[in-house]
Amino acid sequence: MDGNHELATLGVRAGQARSDFNEHSEALFLTSSFVFDSARQAAGRFTGGEDGFVYSRFSNPTVSMMQDRLAALEGAEACVATASGMSAILAMSMALLKAGDHVICSNAVFGATVQLYSGILARFGVDTTFVSPTNLAQWERALRPNTRLLFLETPSNPLTEISDIAALSAVAKRAGALLAVDNAFCTPALQRPLHLGADLVIHSATKYLDGQGRVLGGAVLGSRALVMDGIFGFLRTAGPSLSPFNAWVILKGMETLELRMLAQSERALELAIWLESHPQVARVFHPGLASHPQHALASQQQRAGGAVVSFEVNGGRDAAWKVIDSTRLISITGNLGDVKTTITHPATTTHGRISPEARAAAGISEGLLRVAVGLEAVADLKADLTRGLG
């Protein structure tokens, strides 16, 4: 199919490759290797001189379909799927960075991303400066001659701060660096970072691309040169590859992506508006709220506010834990991106491994709760939260 279709159509149709059986639904090729007709063909496939599948660490038809569908949705030339969102960030970093390089990273990214840059990659000689996701001047001031990569999430996790992708792309370009955007919260259904000037898009497919909390997966997308020459080579050699089974689940998940993202965003905004008027709630964070500091930018950059609502309850950790422990419907789990609504206390779970100073700098207080809104009726979600809010 050509690339001129609407997003809804691409989500259902893009990337499908039928086998000789002419199946209607995409096939699951659960095989670790592929058989060759001859020694000559095996040699040709291994060297890349002949097209065809070889070994599922780096080539599998179901994984290819998933990569092609996601590339069509993001408007990317190329996509490499990985075993998880974190392995997507690792693969990108290992492929594109070397000892002596400098990274500028938003201080409001997922906790494990902070650990990866400040802990693991630092041991390999990559230095990272953390800056505010919304303060452009801080990004400019942090630039060094050896800055190679700017990395951010927007909206950020869990405070839904919005970074200006187009403005930061201009900063990166002037400095000869690359801009990578983690698009897990919005997905291409709501935001397409490559169209706004980003060089690379990262996904935790574990979240909304699957959409039903079943499998782990990740992806890196961008130009053919960046993704296929660099990141694919790392994946082929080091092997943080996506299983064909997980690829199949994510491929089918993408068929309902646009519908889910719009419906879940709508529910999240309704819940956020209600929370804003609750006497026990000190602050609510959702990009669709007029009170959100980057509401205007979010309205320009995103098609809807997304499904994550964070809010601060009066009374610190005890009050926040009371809300969690009083739920009967909402799931107490660290994951998000599910059609089942989830609730998390970021300070003691997803962001528990970063230092208290880094947590404070990222604005994650003890009273903060993150709700990732699913597809249940909003009235039932309000009733479930009301029990613990008192």
Which residue ranges make up the site for ligand PLP (CB under 6 A)? 84-86, 110, 112, 153, 157, 182, 184-185, 204, 206, 216, 218
Nearest residue (CB) to ligand PLP, 143 versus 187: 187
> Helix crossing, 378-389 with 316-325: angle to 10°?
130
Question: H/E element holding 332?
Answer: strand 331-332
d(CA 129, CA 153): 15
In angstroms, give the least distance from the CB of 106 to ligand PLP: 11
For residue 271, what are the contacts with CB-CB under 8 A and spacing of at least 6?
309, 371, 373, 378, 381, 382
Distances (CA, A) of 59 to 23, 141, 249, 349: 21, 42, 17, 35
Contact 15/69 with Cβ under 8 angstroms? yes
Nearest residue (CB) to ligand PLP, 96 versus 389: 96
Distances (CA, A) of 87 to 8, 101, 218, 343, 357: 28, 20, 7, 25, 26
CA atoms within 13 A on the CB side of 175: 24
In angstroms, give the least distance from the CB of 387 to ligand PLP: 26
Nearest residue (CB) to ligand PLP, 85 versus 193: 85
In angstroms, give the least distance from the CB of 218 to ligand PLP: 5
In angstroms, give the least distance from the CB of 341 to ligand PLP: 16
| Assigned token pair, 60 | 């599998």
* Cβ-proximal residue to ligand PLP, closest one: 85
In angstroms, give the least distance from the CB of 190 to ligand PLP: 14
Nearest residue (CB) to ligand PLP, 88 versus 171: 88
Nearest residue (CB) to ligand PLP, 129 versus 333: 333
Q: Do the strands 102-106 and 308-313 form a parallel or antiparallel pair, or are they unpaired?
A: unpaired
Nearest residue (CB) to ligand PLP, 45 versus 310: 310
In angstroms, give the least distance from the CB of 156 to ligand PLP: 8
d(CA 115, CA 105): 12
For residue 200, what are the contacts with CB-CB under 8 A and spacing of at least 6?
92, 178, 179, 180, 181, 220, 221, 222, 226, 227
Nearest residue (CB) to ligand PLP, 110 versus 285: 110
> Helix crossing, 257-276 with 378-389: angle to 10°?
40
In angstroms, give the least distance from the CB of 389 to ligand PLP: 25
In angstroms, give the least distance from the CB of 182 to ligand PLP: 5
d(CA 62, CA 26): 8
Q: Do the strands 127-131 and 102-106 form a parallel or antiparallel pair, or are they unpaired?
A: parallel
Nearest residue (CB) to ligand PLP, 82 versus 388: 82
Dihedral angle computed from the Cα positions of residues 220, 226, 231 and 236, in that order, rounded to the nearest 10 degrees: 120
Nearest residue (CB) to ligand PLP, 26 versus 153: 153
In angstroms, give the least distance from the CB of 83 to ligand PLP: 8
Nearest residue (CB) to ligand PLP, 107 versus 204: 204
| DSSP line for 267-302 | HHHHHHHHHHT-TTEEEEE-TTSTTSTTHHHHHHH-
In angstroms, give the least distance from the CB of 298 to ligand PLP: 16
Q: Is the dihedral of CA 102, 106, 112, 114 positive or negative?
A: positive
